[in-house]
Amino acid sequence: MTTHDIRTETANGIGFIALDRPQALNALTTAMLHAIRNALDGWRHDHAIKAVVIYSPHPRAFCAGGDIRFLYESAKAGERAAMDTFFIDEYKLNHAIFTYPKPYIALVNGVVMGGGMGISQGARHTGGLRVVTGSVKMAMPETRIGLFPDVGVSWFLARAPGAIGRYLAATGTTIGAADALYARLADAYLDDAAVSDLVEMLKRHRFLDGVDVMRFVEGEAVKHKVSPTPDGSALAAARTQIDRHFAAGNGTAVLASLEREAQADGPGSAWAARTAEQLRECSPLSVDVSMELVDRARLSSMAETLRRDLDLTRTVFERGDVVEGIRARIIDKDNRPAWKAARVEDVTSDEVRRMFESAWTPDTHPLKLLRD
């Protein structure tokens, strides 16, 4: 079935979801969210369906995120209900994937950012797999537009090795396949050219159950070797510095640490200088919010994480930097955002705390029924 830029089909006991909006790098619309959710709901209790595979048949992207222009236009028009509906639907889908009772396998190629992370990261929790290809460009670059790493991704970042989660959340750094495997944001690797063949094999091969499907995919993946290896990735090479500078503290403390090393003219000074410059490009408020978000996610369930994400969507659009960030980076593309706090040193702890205030009581929260 083809509907709303999503193609779904069943074959050989597997439900297949193909993202089919290549002109927008498969960015998610409300209709796409509904189409994916409807397919998953239909297969949840269907005993004939053993597993689910989601993929993109297009080489440039798995999914570039949510429909940012729609959110910007809704915010400018004061259509808060439309924005709430988008995020509520998206986060309900993220939770449905995370708690899915059958192996969910995400074959991730090309650009995977924002909402694309939300529809792929939960695969591991289902007993499925997150398979990345050599073309992967993975990121949560939200601090560059005044947003934060939402869609429950802070839960996964909080469980990355060392301070990698705080580093990726604050800087929005784009990582490749080896980095993703090292950061525990992927489970297996496949060459790009092998994806379509794997999908076809899954449609023909006979499987006993979902575990059998997952093991077949693992068996195909071990035939392919990522280069560099995870231990030789850029993240691995920078791990000592990432842990030193990003393990604790707010944006002010992190930048001060980076700039001290940059000025020391030692072996890590160039990396520290580049990273400090990268942070200076981001919304100062969002940098602090994003690291705090990862810290809170360490002791949270996915349901709690998604409720927190929804709370933050309200505050960042009402009194944060996101509308200005989208204008500067995506709409006008002048790359000169006028952040509410000009420098990270100007952000106060009280401002950060207020961003986490909820617009709802526990009894009225739109995501109150989510349970892990």
Core vs surface per residue 192-209: b (16+ CB within 10 A) or e: eebbeebbeebeeeebee
Query: Is residue 217 a contact partner of residue 195, using CB atoms and an 8 Å limit?
Result: no
Please, what is the Cα angle at 293 between 298 and 328, to 5 degrees? 150
pLDDT at 35: 96
Q: What is the pLDDT of residue 265?
A: 83
CATH class assigned to 1-372: alpha beta
> Rounded to two decimals, what is the model's pTM?
0.96
Q: 284-297 vs 251-264: helix axis angle to the nearest 10?
A: 110
Q: Domain extents for the chain? A: 1-372
pLDDT at 151 over 80: yes
pLDDT confidence of residue 1 = 63
pLDDT digits (tens, 9 = 90+) for 89-98: 999 999 999 9
pLDDT of 51-82, one tens digit each? 999 999 999 999 999 889 999 999 999 999 99
For residue 45, which amino acid is it? H
Residue partners of 127: CB distance under 8 A and separation at least 6: 102, 103, 210, 211, 214
**Which secondary structure element, helix H or strand E, spans residue 8, and what is its range?**
strand 6-11
Residue 126 and residue 117: Cα distance in Å, rounded?
A: 15
Over the chain, what is the mean pLDDT? 96
